[in-house]
Amino acid sequence: MNDKHIDDELTDPLEPWLGYRLRRISAAAMADVGPLLAREGFTASLAAVLLMIEANPGRTQAQIGRALAIKRANIAPMIARLERDELILKESIDGRSFGLIITARGESVTKKLADVFSSHDEDLLGSLSAAERTQLRKLMEKVRHAQSGRSSSV
Amino acid sequence: MNDKHIDDELTDPLEPWLGYRLRRISAAAMADVGPLLAREGFTASLAAVLLMIEANPGRTQAQIGRALAIKRANIAPMIARLERDELILKESIDGRSFGLIITARGESVTKKLADVFSSHDEDLLGSLSAAERTQLRKLMEKVRHAQSGRSSSV
DNA sequence: TATTGTTATACTCTATAACTATA
DNA sequence: TATAGTTATAGAGTATAACAATA
């Protein structure tokens, strides 16, 4: 159940496909950051939601969800959880929607989460020079914008 | 239930973190390629397993799994499914393990799956010049190798 | 003792459908 | 009619634990 055997060196037919490499690198990155966030009682998605609320006070959960490509049906329980823990509160906008505001407690949690993301990103990019980081960021922005033309959730 | 409303333009506090951008781009890419693979009766993971077997005949499922960062417990039902559909077959290595071999039918499916990955990759990278693609590939290799030092699953 | 294959199980993330209430 | 919020549910993907059989 440990799978830390040393062997193999298989040929990788998926290597030419950047989409798959993206998936693998992203999955490994999330596997790394997951336990760090879990120590704060968060998952990556929930952390993203809280950070997004903190940066955009007064928005509705539907707006936050759209910005993060999280469906209304899926963000609802996250918002409930954040409100239950008194990290955010709801201000009535009209009869059917609420503006989401971060609380003081939410602010302090936000700082911890941001630290986790920052230090993990430093690990992830540790082998890259400043110029390379800029390059990578620029290339990923290009890919992202190409995606947003066609894809449902970017 | 459609969430195609046009609005917002929120500020994105997650933008500086490459790890998170990676996650979003990867998720959108998989959302794009998923339906194409589904038409062939595959998911991205299952397709990766079959392609890996095709490229590395005679390896055990544990070896294939390690190469793809898929746990033994999770690859077992995939192998069973591929064998049931006669896309692969098992050759006994010793009393406890099998070498996996692709069948003729598996070969023809492999070609279709490779086409799906290739054409999707072309979409994903459509906005990038040849030089930019090379750059991106090189940068991602660097990140990947930095990961494999620390991460559990790369 | 360690590894292989397997089953059971749980959690996260994502997706659709259906519902109420409000714009 | 369209949108907001909610609940129920299902399918992937990934994780651990435990087991029998074999190295």
Tens-digit pLDDT profile for residues B29-58: 999 999 999 999 999 999 999 999 999 999
Instruction: Could you list the beta-strand ranges (E) of B24-72.
Output: none
pLDDT for B9 equals: 86
CA distance A29 to A60: 29
Residues of chain B where predicted confidence (pLDDT) is lower than 70: 1-8, 148-154
In the predicted structure, residue A4 carries a pLDDT above the cut 90: no
CB atoms within 10 A of CB B115: 12
Q: pTM of this prediction?
A: 0.92
CA distance B119 to B114: 9
Helix axes B130-150 and A104-124, enclosed angle (nearest 10): 100
B19 to A1: CB separation less than 8 angstroms, yes or no: no
A44 to B23: CB separation less than 8 angstroms, yes or no: yes
* A and B: number of Cβ contacts within 8 A: 242
Residue B90 class from Cβ within 10 Å (0-12 exposed, 13-18 middle, 19+ buried)? Answer: middle
Give Cα B53 to chain centroid, integer Å. Answer: 13
pLDDT for A120 equals: 92
Does residue A1 approach strand D to less than 7 Å at its CB? yes
Alpha-carbon separation of residue A18 from A81, A134, B45, B111, B133 (angstroms): 36, 19, 15, 18, 9
Nearest CA in chain A to B139: A136
CA distance A113 to A39: 10
Place of tokens 């920052």: A118
